[in-house]
Structure 1
Amino acid sequence: MHLLSEDAVLAAVGANLRIYRTPLVTYLLGSDVLAIVFEPGDRPDGTGIRDARHVAVTPPFPDEIHTLLYPDPWPGFPTEERAVLRIEGYARLAGGCVPLGSLRRFGTSWDPRKERLFSQTFKLDPALPFGLLDRIRSAVPPLPAPNVPRLDWLRLLPHDPVGATSEFVTAWYADVHPPAGPHLPATAPMPQALAALHEAISYRRELLGRQDSLFAPHELRLDAAGRLLFGAENQGCFAMATEPEGDDPPVWFLREDEEPELKPLPLSQFLLATMLFEATIIGHYTMHGLVWREDKDRMLTGLRRVPLPNREWLDWQSDTYVGRGLVVQLTPHDDTGGTWSFSAGARRREDLRAVEKFRNH
């Protein structure tokens, strides 16, 4: 393995060098190169090397770096500066920096209300050898693994989705401790299902989601039609809305200049489906890929299907399975049924091994 000194990395960036250091990453910005130097360690949902194919950066972002990474108003039409900027990755180890190769933008998450990045993911090309990946991860001892989350919440379905959601959140995120108060009060009334979920979340912001994030209680508001806006897609494509009162009100997706889209699930079931979906995104450990039809049933051995319709469209064949510290969502990848796409989330890295061995790379 070839290691470069930090001076060599600085020289490779070239002219007009600006250096921005944060706790987990150093940004080296030159005239036409952005080098990102990651600190070692295993941080699957934060800044660092996520897996053999992906790295990610999360806040804090220096202002100039945030300006470069923040997405354009019209995706696919980059500014001239972004079109020529080359992004290279490095990991800092004892004795020097190991080159990770070129980084290609792969996924972006941001808060459209505050115009701030949540995260920027890059794809590695080529993928890291597993020996190097293990060396980067093990350079800093990992935190103790949490206990396997209980599945007691399944007994409450389908008759009590509100209780099931609260118990799932409590069990799945038992290792995430609530912040100390005081906390800002809610700014709008909430129906019982949403209030119960926020009580279970207990002001833990990382539980609010990353793909389709929920608003914290003090961020709730009513729109001009009196609907309660309780969340939004992470790129501002739609807002999630419901009625501020009622036993189990409906849910709408609101898009600019379009009619409200009524979702097939009432709020109580929609919230549980959303939390299960987000568990495959903020797992703490996650994996996505394809599985052959003949391997699908073997991958699901020991898992239990959640008796809940898909939150998007009732005619989708997506199903959610849980067990062994896992949440797995499966969807047919094509009309032939030959392959299925999956997203899996776990609170412990070892629990993903049951899925990884069946992934079709």
Structure 2
Amino acid sequence: MEIRLWSVAGEADAVAVAGAGAKVRETGDTVFAAGPDATVVIARGLRNAEDLTVSGPFPRLIEGRLTGGDGLPLHAFARLGDGCLALGTARVSALGRRRGVLHRLDLRLDTPLPEHLLDLAGTPAEQPGADWLDLLPEDPVKALEMFVADWYAEVPPGTPLPARGQPEPLRAFHRAAAGRPEVYGGSLLVHGEPAPGGPAGMPIIGESADGTFEVLIEAGADDPHVYYQGLSDQPLRERERLSAYLMLMVLARAAMDRPPDGLAEGGMAFADRAQARRIVAPLRRVPLRPLRWPCARSRLYAGPGTVVLLGADDADWFEVYVGTRHRSVLRRLRKIGLDWEHFDG
């Protein structure tokens, strides 16, 4: 069966493109069909005019077809509320595996979708929520747990690392981060266990990825002060204590870092004050004091599926880091005229 490009078809008609006797498998909101004529994928997750992300689990037959190169065409459809939008043929552009299991597939469309159809097919049904903001500033530990569970929902949790003798905020961080290396790594690394070696007996709990500074905490406190060693001649104390600092640090890295398995999209740019206001206008300011890293005053803003860091070293220009769970969120930023260092949108 042939369906015209960018037309809307019923699910049964879309599946029929695979050919007579096609084997149909459904996982969550995604439908796969493997037949003698083609392989069909019906999914949400259109990230831009060319890229479609399909989340697992993947039936064995479908995984073999998509990763084995059987020579049959692959037809992609975007799931709509009232049918399936025909996206045409596609090819596999990236595979995401976790612990050896295929959990994510990126497809590149052979014919890019016209701009006017992106709003129809490109916005996901749900974004990670922002209810955790309502817990701040009173309960940053619970807010961190909620954010990590939502932002990294596709990453199965694991067994927490031993955290004997650590202050409760650090133990809570390890519980939330268990099994999720993205939460431990990136531009700022958090150690599994504090290490000795800081001045005045302060334990070292982390360090920058480039090795320019270490993160220390005062010894013996329930919610200790946090210090950087290497950003100034003397240890530089952060504005927030450990419980709130860990919340801010996780948010900052969600804005700054691109996980290797494509969990998030984003970009980094330089903006003047007017541009910065436009970037954060739809978002809520995280009600905690600014971080001293990566800039002297680094404020965080957040909304559903989006985290933005605005870093200021002077009054006129800002470093802007944007992290989002879906590339469609970045579309409005194209029109602001930013000087992007890199941009996924």
Q: TM-score, normalised by structure 2?
A: 0.56
Q: Specify whether residues 208 and 293 from structure 1 end up closer, same or farther in structure 2 by C-alpha distance, changes over 3 A only.
A: same
**Contact preservation (8 Å) 2:290, 2:298:** yes
| C-alpha contact (below 8 Å) 2:93/2:106 kept by paired residues | no
Q: Return the alpha-carbon distance in structure 1 between the equivalents of residues 337 and 244 of structure 2.
A: 29
Residue equivalent to 1:155: 134
- Work out whether 1:222 is the aligned partner of 2:206: no
Inter-CA distance 162–300: structure 2 relative to 1 (3 Å threshold): same
Q: Distance in 2 between matches of 1:203 and 1:232?
A: 20
- Specify the alignment match of 1:344 in structure 2: 322
The list of structure 1 runs, each at least 4 consecutive aligned residues, that deviate by more than 6 angstroms after superposition, is: 143-146
1:190 Cα deviation from its structure 2 partner: 0.9
For structure 1, the 5+ residue unaligned runs are 1-135
How much does 1:277 deviate? Answer: 0.8
Query: Which residue of structure 2 lines up, in the alignment, with residue 241 of structure 1?
Result: 216
Paired with 2:201 and 2:248, the residues of 1 have a C-alpha distance of 25
Residue 261, structure 1, aligned to residue 236, structure 2: yes
Q: Closer, same or farther in 2 for the Cα pair 1:340/1:282, shift >3 Å?
A: closer
Q: Percent identity?
A: 32
SS in 2 for 1:280: helix
Q: Structure 1 333/223 Cα, relative in aligned 2: closer, same or farther at 3 Å?
A: closer
Counterparts of 2:230 and 2:273, CA distance in 1: 36
Answer whether contact 1:146 1:348 (CA < 8 A) is retained: no
| Equivalent in the alignment of 1:295 | 275
* SS in structure 1 of the partner of residue 336 of structure 2: coil
Q: How is 1:14-25 mapped onto 2 (pairs within 5 angstroms)?
A: none
Matches within 5 A, 1:1-361: 139-140=93-94, 142=106, 147-179=126-158, 185-186=162-163, 189-217=165-193, 220-223=194-197, 225-255=200-230, 258-283=233-258, 284-312=264-292, 316-332=296-312, 334-335=314-315, 337=316, 339-361=317-339
Instruction: Provide the residue aligned with 1:58 in structure 2.
Output: none
> Counterpart of 2:203 in structure 1: which amino acid?
L
Aligned partner letter, 1:343: Y
Q: Which amino acid aligns with 2:106?
A: P
Aligned 8 A contact 1:232 1:238 in 2: yes
1:172 touches 1:347 (CA, 8 Å); kept in 2? yes
Gaps of 5+ in 2: 1-89, 95-104, 108-121, 259-263, 340-345
Deviation, 1:317, is 4.8
| Number of residue-to-residue matches in the alignment | 222
